[in-house]
Amino acid sequence: MNSIKLLLVSVFGPFGVRDDYAEGNGMQMELLNNQITRQQGVHSPRQSYWSFPLYLLAENVSVPATVLDFPTWEEFTRELEKGYTHVGITFIVPNVLKARRMAEHIRSKHPEIKIILGGFGTMVPALETVVPHDGVCDGEGVEWLRRYFGEDPSAPIVHPAIIGPAYEYIYGAKTPTKGSILLTGVGCNNACEFCATSFKFGKEYVPFMSTGAQVFDACLKSEKELGSRGFTIIDENFLKKPQRARELLTQLEAQEKAYVFDIFSSAEVITDVGIDFLVRLGIHMIWIGVESRANTHAKLRDIDIGKLIAQLQENGISVITSGILFLDHHDQATIREDIEWIIGLGSDMTQFMNYTPFPCTALYARLAGEGRLKDIHYRFHHGAGELNWNHPYIVDPKEQANLLKEAFRRKYEVSGPGILNMAITAIRGYAKAEANRTRREAESLVWNPESLRYEKSDHAADDAFMRQRIRRLQKIALNLRPILLPALLFAPNKASRMKAWNAMRLYGKVLGSAGPGVILKGLFLVFTGFMEQVKLWFRRASGYEDIVLQPPSRRVEYRIPRLG
């Protein structure tokens, strides 16, 4: 056991650049600019997240391990000279050629090293003929890797403190990154036909943290080591385990910790727990799959999704919706109707993605059975351009790519910059939370953790935790206030300018006049935003859609056994 030395590595860069191993468009290592605020130019927040599963794996095996994240090719090949016995490569389907180059290099230069493959890229059929390897991580990674090295697969999972994002820019200005990632579980039992996550994990949910106390302890660890008080929870449907969320709130209240969380959730679970609960828990942003107006998913049945989104925003919870384009019924008219319907829901931001059958999903099996899968390389299976299957009505690959881009552009023109929408949601939420708290105290309403509602009481008391929560809401709004000036000056149209102007007035009404600090920060963002806009003009004049940023590489050693 002591002779084993493990390297866990993501695929090499550069990213978002077309070369012999990967595509450019759609393959940036950025969630927002790549597939949520695409086409928003200078207004788009720029963030890149580390390959967080690698850190979880390294923390939970006893063998000495090193994580090498976002390496250059040179950094990767140099690292191999350090005496590793095993190399684990994580990749997604479109990056399969990068994984192959890495594996072939290991086979050629270091034949003694065992190659382990992991990530969603392992769904590629007949993977052994594409990427050389000695083992494939099938299913949940921690348990698999422990079994591989002869360790106890059922040992408690130790959650690492994971900083996220790797970098963050807004209007060209770099901002501090103090958030953290929480990996509370993988998989989903909703089993939507297209969902790779659901099918990769056998249509089951596998929790890493089963209790609210475990989630809270992970938060405390990240606050102690990284100073984090805001957390992105990576979990397909965090609220699907409502008891865990209830327990988390109990811990937050008992320890007087007003942490904030970004989560993924289906609409039916939100309606079950209620918005008051979400506000009290500290949900800052929520991602909801709305898919299509014509869909029949149980998670949306009998729910007025537009009304739900509006209620969330009124209470300070920003909403990202995700919609699917090129469903079977979409033709030139109905696809645009769906785009307009999704935009009309009024979410702060929207992800549009092509209906993409990934291997192992029910969608892939259905389309394969119908003989509708295209014979195109896996590097093109990224969902941001040409479809990898034959659509019945929209067949031109260029038209498919352009319709997706048009959807993002339309969202930007109609709703304005996503960052502006978030600022408006924040100030409205702060104002409403303060008004609601005052009203509840006057009416002797107190929080009932059993019913998840505020109820009449004969023993009304000051809600100290909610006062603390409201201060956090105020801070979020204050932090976003400087973006209002560049949002106004760089607005794409008159409607967006009016939205920014009205947001300034609302901030003034709720918080008072902007002080010198806010004004100076706003002017600084105007300057950096203008410089970024100039770069973008030159970039587009050269035929590119956007400025591509490369994430920094990162190397972390785990020398001391973490278990036992």
**Tell me, what's the pLDDT at 462?**
86
> Measuring CA to CA, which residue among 297, 356, 288, 299 is closest to residue 323?
288
Question: What is the C-alpha to C-alpha distance for residues 140 and 204, in angstroms, rounded to an integer?
Answer: 11
**Tell me, what's the pLDDT at 298?**
64
> Measuring CA to CA, which residue among 313, 339, 332, 466 is closest to residue 396?
332
**Residues 187-204 pLDDT 10s:** 988 888 898 888 889 889
Question: What is the C-alpha to C-alpha distance for residues 225 and 161, in angstroms, rounded to an integer?
Answer: 7
CB-side exposure of 535: number of CA atoms within 13 Å? 14
Question: What is the C-alpha to C-alpha distance for residues 545 and 75, in angstroms, rounded to an integer?
Answer: 29
> Measuring CA to CA, which residue among 162, 253, 265 is closest to residue 216?
253
Tokens representing 5?
A: 């030395």
Question: What is the C-alpha to C-alpha distance for residues 307 and 284, in angstroms, rounded to an integer?
Answer: 18
Task: Give yes or no for a contact between 56 and 146, defined as CB atoms under 8 angstroms apart.
Answer: no
Where is 252: in which H helix or E strand?
helix 242-255
Distance of CA 223 to the CA centre of its chain: 20
Q: Is 163 helix (H, G, I), strand (E, B) or coil?
A: strand
Give me the domains of the chain, ranges plus CATH numbers.
6-156 (3.40.50), 162-413 (3.80.30.20), 420-541 (no CATH)
* Mean pLDDT computed over every residue of the chain: 94
Question: What is the C-alpha to C-alpha distance for residues 245 and 228, in angstroms, rounded to an integer?
Answer: 19
Checking if the pLDDT of 128 tops 70, the result is yes
Question: What is the C-alpha to C-alpha distance for residues 137 and 472, in angstroms, rounded to an integer?
Answer: 41
* DSSP line for 168-193: EEETTEE-----EEEE-EE--SS--T
Checking if the pLDDT of 120 tops 80, the result is yes
Burial status of residue 462 (CB atoms within 10 A of its CB: 0-12, 13-18, 19 or more): exposed
For residue 18, give every residue at least 6 positions away whose Cβ sits within 8 Å of its Cβ, in sequence order, or none.
24, 25
Tokens representing 105?
A: 């290099």
**Residues 215-237 pLDDT 10s:** 999 999 999 999 999 999 999 99
Question: What is the C-alpha to C-alpha distance for residues 350 and 343, in angstroms, rounded to an integer?
Answer: 8
Q: What is the DSSP letter of 473?
A: H
**Tell me, what's the pLDDT at 1?**
45
CB atoms within 10 A of CB 108: 9
Strand ranges, E, within 315-464: 318-325, 349-354, 445-448, 453-456
Cis bond leading into 14, ω under 30°? Answer: yes
Q: What average pLDDT does this structure show over 478-487?
A: 98
**Residues 348-406 pLDDT 10s:** 999 999 999 999 899 999 999 999 999 999 999 988 889 999 999 999 999 999 999 99
Sheet architecture: strand order including 86-90: 135-136, 114-118, 86-90, 6-10, 65-69, 554-558
Q: What is the DSSP letter of 110?
A: -
Q: What is the DSSP letter of 416?
A: -
Distance of CA 185 to the CA centre of its chain: 14
Alpha helical stretches, state H, 80-228: 96-109, 141-148, 196-200, 212-226
> Measuring CA to CA, which residue among 350, 352, 351, 359 is closest to residue 388?
359
Q: What is the DSSP letter of 389?
A: B
CA–CA distance from 308 to each of 300, 352, 452 (Å)?
A: 11, 20, 17
> Measuring CA to CA, which residue among 525, 445, 510, 503 is closest to residue 473?
510
Question: What is the C-alpha to C-alpha distance for residues 466 and 279, in angstroms, rounded to an integer?
Answer: 9
Q: At which residue do the structure tokens 């410089």 appear?
A: 531
Confidence of residue 158 (pLDDT cuts 50, 70, 90): very high
Question: What is the C-alpha to C-alpha distance for residues 451 and 179, in angstroms, rounded to an integer?
Answer: 31
**Tell me, what's the pLDDT at 302?**
79
Task: Give yes or no for a contact between 261 and 219, defined as CB atoms under 8 angstroms apart.
Answer: no
CB atoms within 10 A of CB 415: 22
Task: Give yes or no for a contact between 529 and 171, defined as CB atoms under 8 angstroms apart.
Answer: yes
Question: What is the C-alpha to C-alpha distance for residues 168 and 479, in angstroms, rounded to an integer?
Answer: 14
Checking if the pLDDT of 562 tops 50, the result is no
Cis bond leading into 397, ω under 30°? Answer: no
Cα angle for residues 321, 393, 386 (degrees, 5° grid): 60
Tokens representing 141?
A: 């990674």
**Tell me, what's the pLDDT at 299?**
66
Percent of the chain with pLDDT over 90: 87
pTM over 0.85: yes
Checking if the pLDDT of 563 tops 90, the result is no
Question: What is the C-alpha to C-alpha distance for residues 46 and 167, in angstroms, rounded to an integer?
Answer: 8
CB atoms within 10 A of CB 81: 9
Distance of CA 430 to the CA centre of its chain: 24
> Measuring CA to CA, which residue among 177, 167, 286 is closest to residue 222?
177
Q: Say what the alpha-carbon torsion angle 467, 471, 476, 477 is, to the nearest 10 degrees.
A: 100
**Residues 495-536 pLDDT 10s:** 999 999 999 999 999 999 999 999 999 999 999 999 999 999
Burial status of residue 458 (CB atoms within 10 A of its CB: 0-12, 13-18, 19 or more): exposed
Confidence of residue 561 (pLDDT cuts 50, 70, 90): very low
